[in-house]
Amino acid sequence: MRIERDSLGEVRVPANALYGAQTQRAIENFPISGLKPRPAFIWSMGMIKRAAAEVNLELGLLAPNMARAIIQAAQEVIDGHWNAQFVIDPFQAGAGTSHHMNVNEVIANRATIILGGKLGEYLVHPNDHVNLAQSTNDTIPTAIRLGCLWRLDELLLKLEKLSAALHAKSGEFANILKSGRTHLQDAVPLRLGQEFGAYAKAVELDAERIRYAAEGLKRLGIGGTAVGTGLNAHPEYRHRMVTRLSTLTGFHLAESDNLFESMQSMADPVAFSASLRTLALTLVRIANDFRLLSSGPATGLDEIRLPAVQPGSSIMPGKVNPVMAEMLNMAMFQLVGYDTTVALAAQAGQLELNVMMPIIAHNLFEMMHITIAAVGVFTDRAVTGLSANKDRAEAWLAHNPIVVTALNPLIGYRQGAELAQEAVTRGMTIRDLAVEKAKAGLLKFVDGRLITVQEIETALDQAMQPGGGL
């Protein structure tokens, strides 16, 4: 161990740790979940610290050798070399000061070593140099925004691939007629391809919502320091930081038009979280449909067959379950819970600051990570290898009494209802029963004229064609 001092006194720190006294206090104070910061957070904070050192060097506020050491140390953080040194539980002191000081101490100690010093000597000081012109209150919300943007393209690509896979199935299944179902009861026919085309469109629209919500994350309050006044920051710092971060990250970032709002409000992260929740609800619905459509096979719908990726039972030989749809359900349930936490944490902000930022950051980064992984696996191991059971789908349709809806314009609603009820009672198809009654002269047009077998056949055949009205 080595001895360090902070404003509260001496602290024993592991001898080889890059972090220092305030991090060690947080380790001891918050042994809550065992969770650690996500790489998105570490990357974002490294970016902020590198940009700040470069800007402060340009402004003549940091000595060149010190600035260069901070820049090198921050880049090593960005590159993931010191991830194991970021050790603070997300359930911690409000605002993220512990997270922030963990970053400051790691970079300060690493920069000190680069300059020839030793751990804990702080030739580069965590507060005076690494944290120059910054505070927890403007760096943590900036890190939240940058961390979500860091994996945005990756997320959107996963959604694009899922939508494309569903679109491909829509084309593959374009000629398979099946029963529609509403209220989980038989409804008018549609094509299996149309059903899958709707899934593809829903995912596509959710991706657009996420892309739109992400635009709000590009507005940065960096330079507002503690409450939005910019106290202790150079007048040009704010503008230069946004410009520099845009260059370093490749994101099209913008300055906040109201730094006070940017300190107080977590509305932009909430909106982004809500867009992920909307996607989660869509994916739960699709996963549930996959489970229903593949149910059975002997006693269920069995209209689609999901790839068999693992045995489904420890006791029932040959059983195969829709495990990828089940996985997606559970992952998306978790997302909804994360979003609820983000919403509650956001409304808990008071006056000039939201102190619940650590859990907002953690949950947003978890949402991104889980969604990217779950959607990717579901696409590759469920959707891509999915096949249709054409015979079963069309067999269900043949026995669907609601096919009678196609005859409504000819025979009217009342006769149609009677025909449907009799078909169910007698176990006949609508086509066979309608033909039987037409031959017997028992089926009439709405105007009272007898309908012919040919007219029945034509109406049902036309309804089953693309654009046939069903």
Residue 467 pLDDT: 60
Is residue 110 a contact partner of residue 149, using CB atoms and an 8 Å limit? no
In order of start, what are the domains of the chain with their CATH numbers?
2-132 (1.10.275.10), 148-392 (1.20.200.10), 399-463 (1.10.40.30)
Which residues are CB-contacts of 246 (< 8 A; sequence separation ≥ 6)? 252, 253
Active site residues: 313
263-272 pLDDT per residue, tens: 999 999 999 9
The Cα 201–Cα 197 span in angstroms is 6
Structure-derived torsion over alpha carbons of residues 252, 151, 126, 138, reported in degrees to the nearest 10: 50
pLDDT tens for 160-196 read 999 999 999 999 999 999 999 999 999 999 999 999 9
The model's pTM: 0.94
Confidence of residue 464 (pLDDT cuts 50, 70, 90): confident
The pLDDT tens digits of the residues spanning 85-139 come to: 999 999 999 999 999 999 999 999 999 999 999 999 999 999 999 999 999 999 9
Q: Which amino acid is at 48?
A: I
- Residue found under tokens 């069309």: 394
> pLDDT tens for residues 235-291?
999 999 999 999 999 999 999 999 999 999 999 999 999 999 999 999 999 999 999
Confidence of residue 470 (pLDDT cuts 50, 70, 90): very low
The CA-atom distances, in angstroms, between 267 and each of 204, 263, 270, 349 are 24, 11, 5, 11
- The per-residue b/e assignment along 433-454, b for 16 or more CB within 10 angstroms, e otherwise, is bbbbbbeeeebbeeeeeebeee
Contact yes or no for 277/364 (Cβ under 8 A): no
Helix (H) or strand (E) holding 237: helix 237-249
Helix ranges restricted to H, 181-224: 192-215
Q: Strand 219-220 vs strand 304-305: parallel, antiparallel, or unpaired? A: unpaired
pLDDT at 282: 98
Under a CB-based contact definition with an 8 Å cutoff, are residues 232 and 133 in contact? yes
* Each residue's pLDDT tens digit, 288-331: 999 999 999 999 999 999 999 999 888 998 899 999 999 999 99
